[in-house]
Amino acid sequence: MAQHEHVRVAVIGSGFGGLGAAVRLRREGITDFVILERAGSVGGTWRDNSYPGCACDVPSHLYSFSFAPNPEWPRTFSGQEHIRAYLEHVADTFGLRPHLRLNHEVTMMRWDGDELHWVIESANGSTVLADVVVSATGPLSDPKMPDIPGLADFPGKVFHSARWDHDADLTGKRVAMIGTGASAIQIVPSIQPKAAKLTLFQRTPPWVMPRMDRTISGAERWLHRTLPFTGTARRGLLWGIRELQVSAFTKHPDQLGLVERIAKSNMARSIKDPVLRAKLTPSYRIGCKRILLSSAYYPALARPNVDVVASGLAEVRGSTVVASDGTEAEVDAIVFGTGFHVTDMPIAERVVGAEGGTLAESWKGGMQALRGASAAGFPNWMTIIGPNTGLGNSSMILMIEAQLNYMADYLRQLDVLGGRVALDARPSAVGSWNRRVQERMKRTVWNTGGCTSWYLDANGRNTTVWPGTTAEFRKVTRTVDLSEYQVVRVPAQRDARPAVAEEVAG
C-alpha cells in the first residue's frame, strides 16, 4: 500500500481562516500540520477578488488579526491589494510557508472510522491522512453564475467579479453589469469612466450608506508604530461601536429607520432624476441585506453613459442582453457580480462522514453545526466560518479568532482524553444549538426585513448569520463542552472490531 503523509491536523484553505488556524496551531505548540490550498498562493477570497475597486468595507484596524496588528494600513478601508499583501506577510512572519501545500485542491475528504483519521485526496493525485481536519474554505470562495439561457453563445467577454479577466479591456466597450451587491457597487464606479456604455441590471436595489474612506496620515501611522497601544485602542473603539449596533439588527429593526434616512439622503445628493431615484429606492428595511458602503456608486449611476434596468437578466440573444421586463441592450461584455455559493458550498459535497454520506446530504435541510464548527457524523472535522457565524455589521476576523479558541480547546481535549480518539458532535447537541439560533433569528432584520438575500438558504432559513454580538460568540466558543460530543475510540486490542463510542458525563 502506498505510504501517505500523516499529520495531526490538515487545514483546508489559506485565507484569513486557514492562516489564522495555522498561526494558532503553532501557538499551541502544534507543528505537525499542513495547509492544503487549491490555488498557487495564499489569500483566499482576497486573492481571488481582484476586480477594479475591490476593497473591504470594514475598517482595516478591525479587519486584521489581533495577534498581527498592522500599524502601516494606508487607508481606513483597505484595498484588496493591501489585504492580500497583509496575508502574505502573516504567512512569512509566522513561519507558515513550510506547512503550505499550494495547488492542492481537495477533491475528497473521507473519514476512516477504523483508523480514526481523515483521508484527504487532492486533484494533483496526492493523499494526506489527518487526525483532525480544520476546513477553512470560506463561504465566499465559489462564484455563483446564474443559469441564463443563451449565455453560452454570447460572442463577447463574460466573467464573474471573483474571476476578473484582466486581459479584457473595457475601454470604449458597451458593458452589462449584472447584480447590485457589495462587489457590483465597487465595480460600477471603477469601470463607468472607461466604458462607452454601462447597463446595470438591478434585480433588487441595495441600501447604500456613504463610505468615510480616507488616507491614514503619516502621524497616525507613526503613533501606531511607536505606541502600539494606540492601534489597539483604535481597534477597540471600532469594535465597540459595532457591538452597540447589534441589537438594532437582532432585536429592534424598527430602530433602523434613522439609518434609512441617512442612506436616502446619500442617494438624493447624487441622484437628481426622480425616475432614477424611484428605481434605486429599496422597498425593504435597511440591514435586511448587507448594508453597502459607497460614496462613488450613486455619482457613477448619474453619469450619462449609465442605464439602470430595474430588472434581472433573463436571457442573452446573440450580443443582446434581455431583462425580465423585456428591456434589451446590445453589449460587448457581461460582468457578473452575482455572488457566491454560500448556503450550498461545493466543498460540502467533498466531505464524507462516518456513515458514508456527504456533508451536503447531511445539510440538505439546511446547514447546521454545533457552535458554528462541528457537524454530527463528521468526527474530528470542524469548519471555520461555519453555519451561522457570519456578521452583518462587523469584522469576520473577530468570529474567526473566536473559532480558533474553540479549535485550540478541541485539540487540547483530544490530548486530555489521550490515545487514538475522536470527537463526534451529538445530533441532540447540534439540534439544540441550531434551535436556539433559529429561535433568536425570528426577530432579526435579516428574517423580518422583507427581503431575500444570500443569508437565507433555499428553504428560506437563515443559516449564515450569527444573531448576537461578537463578544457573545467568543464566550460560547471559548471551550469545548465534552458532554456535547461522543468520544470515539479504537479499542486498545486492535483487531477487526470497529471503533466504539464512549459516554462522557456532562
Among 338, 362, 394, 434, binds ligand NAP (CB under 6 A): 338
Q: What backbone torsions phi and psi does residue 296 show, to the nearest 5 degrees?
A: -110, -15
Q: Which stretch binds ligand NAP (CB under 6 A): 121-129, 199-207, 473-481, 487-495?
A: 199-207
312 binds ligand NAP (CB under 6 A): yes
Q: How far apart are CA 369 and CA 34, in angstroms?
A: 24
Cβ distance to ligand NAP smaller for residue 401 or 424 = 401
Residue 207 DSSP one-character state: P
271 binds ligand NAP (CB under 6 A): no
337 binds ligand NAP (CB under 6 A): yes
Cβ distance to ligand NAP smaller for residue 141 or 469 = 141
DSSP characters for 330-364? Answer: E-SEEEE---B--TT-GGGGGEE-TTS-BHHHHTT
Contacts to ligand NAP from residues 161-180, by CB under 6 A: 161, 178-180
- Identify any residues that bridge with 358 across adjacent strands, giving them in sequence order: 352
3-state secondary structure of 437: helix
Residue tagged 468520544 (cell numbers): 487
Q: Other C-beta atoms within 10 Å of 491: how many?
A: 11
Handedness of CA 457, 57, 284, 145 (dihedral sign): negative
Shortest separation between residue 50's beta carbon and ligand NAP, angstroms: 12
61 binds ligand NAP (CB under 6 A): no
Cβ distance to ligand NAP smaller for residue 22 or 308 = 308
Contact 138, 13 (CB under 8 A): yes
Residue tagged 491522512 (cell numbers): 129
Q: Which stretch binds ligand NAP (CB under 6 A): 83-91, 198-206, 414-422, 429-437?
A: 198-206
Among 57, 88, 105, 481, binds ligand NAP (CB under 6 A): 57
Shortest separation between residue 242's beta carbon and ligand NAP, angstroms: 14
454 binds ligand NAP (CB under 6 A): yes
Cα-based angle 61, 64, 69 (whole degrees, multiple of 5): 70
339 binds ligand NAP (CB under 6 A): yes
56 binds ligand NAP (CB under 6 A): yes
Among 52, 69, 79, 146, binds ligand NAP (CB under 6 A): 146
Q: Which stretch binds ligand NAP (CB under 6 A): 51-59, 66-74, 111-119, 346-354?
A: 51-59
204 binds ligand NAP (CB under 6 A): yes
3-state secondary structure of 468: coil
Binding mask 400-419 for ligand NAP (x = CB under 6 A): --------------------
183 binds ligand NAP (CB under 6 A): yes
Q: Are strands 100-101 and 500-502 parallel, antiparallel or unpaired?
A: unpaired
Contact 379, 130 (CB under 8 A): no
Q: How far apart are CA 272 and CA 310, in angstroms?
A: 17
Tally of CA atoms within 13 A in the half-sphere of 356 that contains its CB: 0
Strands (E) in 185-236, as ranges, are: 197-201, 208-209
Number of residues that bind ligand NAP (CB under 6 A): 25
Contact 116, 131 (CB under 8 A): yes
Cβ distance to ligand NAP smaller for residue 34 or 162 = 162
Shortest separation between residue 184's beta carbon and ligand NAP, angstroms: 6
Instruction: Determine the residue type at 356.
Output: G
Cβ distance to ligand NAP smaller for residue 204 or 479 = 204
Among 182, 316, 370, 397, binds ligand NAP (CB under 6 A): 182
- Applying CB under 6 A, the residues found at the interface with ligand NAP are 55-57, 140, 146, 161, 178-184, 186, 201, 203-204, 290, 312-313, 337-340, 454
